[in-house]
Amino acid sequence: MLTYTLRRLLLAIPTLLLISLVIFLVVDLAPGSPMSEIPLTVPPEVQAKIRAALGLDAPFYVRYLLWMKQFFWTEPLYGIDNLFGTQLAGDAPRLLSYSSRAPVFRIIGERLPQTLTVIGSAYLLAIVIALPIGIYSAYRQYSWFDQIGTFISMIGFSVPTFFTGLVMILIFTVYLGWFPSIFNTSLRVTDWATFKQMLHQMTLPVVVLALYNAAEVSRYTRSSMLENLSQDYVRTARAKGMGEGTVVLKHVLRNSLIPVVTIIALGAPTIFGGAIVTEQVFKINGIGAALISAIHVNDLPVVQTIAFLTAILIVLFNLIADILYGVLDPRIRYD
Amino acid sequence: MTDATVIEAPRSLWLDVWAQFRAHRGAMVGLFVLIFLLLFVLVGPLFWTKEPILVNSNTAQMFKSRNLGASLTNPLGTDQVGRDIMARLMLGGKVSLAVGFVAMGVAIGVGTLIGVLAGYFRALDNALMRLTDMFLSLPLLPLLLVLVYLYGGVMRAEFGPNLGTFFIIVAGIGLTSWMHVARIVRGQVLAVKEREFVLAARSIGTPSRRIITRHILPNVLSPVMVAATLGIANAIITESVLSFLGQGFQPDFPTWGSMLNYAYNNQSYPVQMIWPGLAISLTVLSVNYIGDGLRDALDPRIRGR
C-alpha cells in the first residue's frame, strides 16, 4: 500500500509542474496587457517604467521561475510566519496582485471562507441526500420511487446551476420572500442569531449546488448498486437466511460504494467550477468572483494563482481517489 | 411442409438499434423535443420575421414597446429595448445549438484521433495518455474563461466580432472536452486491434491507415456516438455558462446564455429569464435522454432482451 501511495505521489509532481507551465503560458502569452486599464494619456516612458516596476520586462522563463519560487517557497514561509509568529520569510518579495498591489494569497485568504462554507455544506448535503435515494431506487428498480428519482436526477443533472439558481431566486425571493438572494459576506457568526442568519442566507446557494451534485452521485450509486445486487454472493447471503437489511446495507452497499467514493472524491474539485457560476448568481464574494474580476482587469498573478490552486486541488483529489480505491479494493494495488 | 417455412425479414444492425431505441420512452420523447427545438430555431425565423438584433430607431416607439408582457404580436413579450423575445430566442438558439454541435465535433475529432493513435501505436501510447491525464487535471472552467477573455480580442479582430467569438468559444470548448472520448476510444482500439480480422487484414498487407479507417473506426463507433450526444449537452451548457458570466458573444448578439444574463441583470422583469433558461434546460435534458437511449440501444448485452 505504501509503495502504491508513493508511486501515485511521485507521478503527481511532474503533472503539477507541467500544469503550472501551461497555466502560466496561457495567461502570460495572451495579447491583453495589464496596462490596458491605464489611461492612454500616460506617456510611453512612464508606462515602460510601470511595466518595469511590475517586473514585466523580464523574459517569461525568469518570471515563471520567480512565480514558482514565490508560490512554493516564499508564500508558504509567510503562511508559517502568520501562524506561529516567526520571521522565516524575512522581507522576501511576495506574490502581488497587479491591480490592488495586495499579496495574492491574502486576497485568496479573504475570499476562501465564503466559498468553502457554501461549497462544503452543499457537497455534504448532496452526499447525504444522494446515497439513500440511490440505494433505495436500485433496491426497488422500476418502482415509482425509482422512476421519479431517476427523472429528478436527470433534471438535476441537465438543468444548469445558473438556471436553477435563478428559478429559486424567482420563487423564494421574488414571489415568496422567504430567503435573501444576495449573500452578505461581511456577516460574522458570533452568536445564535447571526448563525441563524447565516443559515438563512446560505440556504438557496447550498440547495442549488447540492441538487446538481446529488443528481450525479445518486445516479452512480444506483447503477453501482444495481450491478452488485445481481451478483451471486447476494443470492448466497439470502440463501443462508440473512436478513434483507444486512444483505443490502452490509454486503451490497459496501461493495457498491467503491466507485461512488471515487466519484465523490473526483467531483470535489470540479464543484469549484460550478461554484464560480453559483457565486455569480447569488453574489457571493468568493474565489470565483475574485477570479472573474481579476480576469476583467488582466490581473495576471491572481488569475494564474487561482487557476493553479484549482489544478492542485484537482490533482490532490485525484490522488485521494486513487488511494481510497486502493484502500477499498485490494485488487487495485499491485503489491 | 417445407414450403411453409417462414423466412424472416433480414435484420440489419441499425434496424435492431432503432427498435431498441424506440423502446426507450425517455429517449423518444427527447428526440421529439430536440427535433421540435431544431425546427423552432431553423425553420421558425422563416415564418417569424421580427427583428431580433436591431433596436427600433424611432425612440418614442422603442420606449413604448419595452418590457411588454405576452401578447398576440409578441407571444413571449419584448426585452428591455423593445425587441421581440421570440425572434431573439430563435436566433439565440441557432447560435447555441451551432456552438454545441460544432464544439462537439471538434472534441470528438480530437478525442478520436488521440485515442486511435494511442491505442494503435504502442510507441505513442504512454505520452498521449499522460497528455490526456494532464488535460483532465486542468481547471477547465477558469482556463476557458481566461482563454475566451484574453484571446477573444485577437480572434474578433481577425474574423469579425461574432464569427471570431464563435471560433474562440468552439475551439475552447472543443479543446477542453476531448479527454473522455480519447480514453474511451483508446480502450476500444486496444481491444479491437487484437481481433482476428485485424490480423487478417494485416497479413494481406493492408497499411495501418487503411486498417484504422476500414476495420477499427467502424468498431469504435458506438461508444463515440454516445459520447458525442453527451458532448453536445456539455458544450451547450459550457457556452451558456460563458455567456452568462459575460464572456461570450457581444451583448447585443443573442445566445440563450447571454439572454439569460441580460434578463438576470434587468431583474425587474424576471419573467424574461424563463424562456432562454427553459430552452437550454430542455435541450440539454432531451440530449441527455437521447444519450441514455443510445447507450442502451448500442449495447449488445441489453439489446434484444
ipTM comes to 0.80
Residue B49 lies in a domain: no
Short-list B61, B82, B264, CA closest to B74: B82
The Cα A105–Cα A118 span in angstroms is: 20
Instruction: Tell whether B153 is within 8 A of chain A (Cβ).
Output: yes
B244 touches chain A (CB under 8 A): yes
Angstrom distance (rounded) from CA B293 to CA B70: 36
A:B CB pairs within 8 Å: 119
CATH number at residue B36: 1.10.3720.10
> How far is Cα B69 from Cα B272, in angstroms, rounded to an integer?
9
Mutation for testing the B interface, residue in A22, A163, A287 having most B CBs under 10 Å: A163
Question: How many whole angstroms separate alpha carbon A148 and alpha carbon A145?
Answer: 5
How far is it, in rounded angstroms, from Cα A131 to Cα B276?
A: 32
Rounded (5°) CA angle B90-B242-B145: 155
Q: Which of B140-149, B170-179, B202-211 bottoms out in mean pLDDT, i.e. has the lowest?
A: B140-149
A107 phi and psi angles, rounded to 5 deg = -60, -50
Q: What is the pLDDT of residue A115?
A: 82
Chain B neighbors of A15, CB-CB under 8 A: 130, 133-134, 137
- Give the bridge partners for A96, in sequence order: A103
What backbone phi and psi angles, to 5 degrees, belong to B199? -60, -45
**CB-CB contact of B230 with B223 (8 Å):** no
- What does the alpha-carbon distance between residue A28 and residue A31 come to, in Å, rounded to a whole number? 8
Half-sphere exposure of B232 (CA within 13 A, CB side): 23
| CATH 1.10.3720.10 for domain A110-328 | yes
Q: How far apart are CA B271 and CA B263, in angstroms?
A: 8
B9 exposure class (CB count in 10 Å sphere: 0-12, 13-18, 19+)? exposed
Please state, in angstroms and rounded to a whole number, the distance separating the CA atoms of residues B93 and B279.
Answer: 8
Q: Which candidate, A114, A85, A126, A58, places its Cα nearest to that of A268?
A: A126
> What are φ and ψ of residue B84, in 5° steps?
-70, 125
Mark the ranges of chain A whose per-residue pLDDT is less than 50: none
Handedness of CA A288, A294, A298, A304 (dihedral sign): negative
B247 pLDDT above the threshold of 60: yes
3-state secondary structure of B88: helix
Cell of B57: 430607431
For residue A13, CA distances in Å to A4, A19, A72, A165, A270 come to 15, 10, 13, 38, 20
Would you call A154 and B289 a contact, using CB atoms and an 8 Å cutoff? yes
For residue B23 the three cell numbers come to 423502446
Q: How many of the other CB atoms lie within 10 Å of CB of A8?
A: 16
pLDDT at B64 (0 to 100): 66
Q: Given an 8 Å threshold on Cβ–Cβ distance, is A154 in contact with B277?
A: no
The answer on pLDDT for B293 being more than 80 is: yes
Count the Cβ atoms, other than its own, within 10 Å of residue B195: 13
Domain contains B57 = no
Q: Which residue among A155, A162, A292 places its CB closest to the CB of B260? A: A162
Q: Assess if residue B163 is contained within a domain.
A: yes
Cβ separation B137–A22 shorter than 8 A: no
> pLDDT by residue (tens digit) across A220-248?
888 888 888 888 888 888 888 888 888 88
Q: Do A170 and B139 touch (CB under 8 A)?
A: no
> What 3-state DSSP class applies to A334?
coil
B241: which chain A residues are within 8 Å (Cβ-Cβ)? 160, 162, 277
- Residue A22 grid coordinates: 501551461
Ordered alpha helix ranges (H), chain A: 2-28, 44-54, 60-69, 75-84, 104-139, 144-158, 161-168, 192-229, 232-239, 244-246, 253-282, 287-296, 300-328
DSSP category for residue A92? P
A39: exposed, middle or buried (Cβ count in 10 Å: 0-12, 13-18, 19+)? exposed
Task: Specify the number of domains making up chain B.
Answer: 1
Residue B74 has pLDDT above 80, yes or no: no
Residue range(s) defining the domain that contains residue B173:
17-43+85-300
A173 or B174: which leads in pLDDT = B174
Looking at residue B93, its pLDDT comes to 85
What b/e readout covers A162-188, taking b as 16+ CB neighbours within 10 angstroms?
bbbbbbbbbebbeeeeebbbebeeeee
Confidence class for position B3, pLDDT limits 50, 70, 90? low
Q: Angle at Cα A96 formed by Cα A92 and Cα A102, nearest 5°?
A: 105
Question: Residue B303 in contact with residue B297, Cβ under 8 Å?
Answer: yes
A224 to A4, A265, A330: CA distances (angstroms):
25, 16, 18
CB of B289 less than 8 A from some CB of A: yes
> Do the Cβ atoms of B283 and A158 come closer than 8 Å?
no
Between A300 and B282, where is the model more confident? B282
Q: Which of B:44-83 have CB within 8 Å of A?
A: none
* Closest to A328 (Cα-Cα) out of A243, A246, A263: A263
In a domain, B65, yes or no: no
Confidence of residue B204 (pLDDT cuts 50, 70, 90): very high
- φ/ψ of A91, rounded to 5, equals -125, 45
State how far residue B298 is from chain A, nearest Cα, in angstroms. 18
- Residue B304: band (very low, low, confident or very high) from pLDDT cuts 50, 70, 90: low
Cβ(B275)–Cβ(B144) under 8 Å? no
Residue B118 scores a pLDDT above 80: yes
Locate B130 and state its grid cell: 499522460
Domain assignment present for residue B69? The answer is no
**What 3-state DSSP class applies to A99?**
coil
Contact A15 B134 (CB under 8 A): yes
In a domain, B231, yes or no: yes
Is B265 in the A-facing interface, judged by CB distances under 8 Å? no
Q: Name the strand (E) or helix (H) holding A188.
A: none
Q: What is the pLDDT of residue B113?
A: 92
Residue-range domain boundaries for chain A: 41-95, 110-328
Of residues B30, B17, B24, the one with CA closest to residue B293: B24
Instruction: Read off the pLDDT of residues A116-161 as tens digits, 9 standing for 90 and up.
Output: 888 888 888 989 988 888 888 888 878 888 888 888 888 888 888 8
A159 and B281 within 8 Å at the Cβ level: the answer is yes
Looking at residue A297, its pLDDT comes to 78
What are the cell numbers at B240?
451558456
What pLDDT score was predicted for residue B193?
A: 85
Give the residue-averaged pLDDT of B275-297. 86
Check if the beta carbon of residue A219 is closer than 8 Å to that of residue A133: no
Min Cα distance A9 → chain B (Å) is 14
Q: What is the pLDDT of residues B26-71, one digit of tens each?
A: 888 888 988 888 888 888 777 777 777 666 667 766 666 666 666 6
Looking at residue B267, what is its pLDDT? Answer: 66
What are the helix and strand counts (H, E) for chain B?
A: 14, 0
Does residue B23 lie within any of the structural domains? yes
- Average confidence score pLDDT of chain B: 81
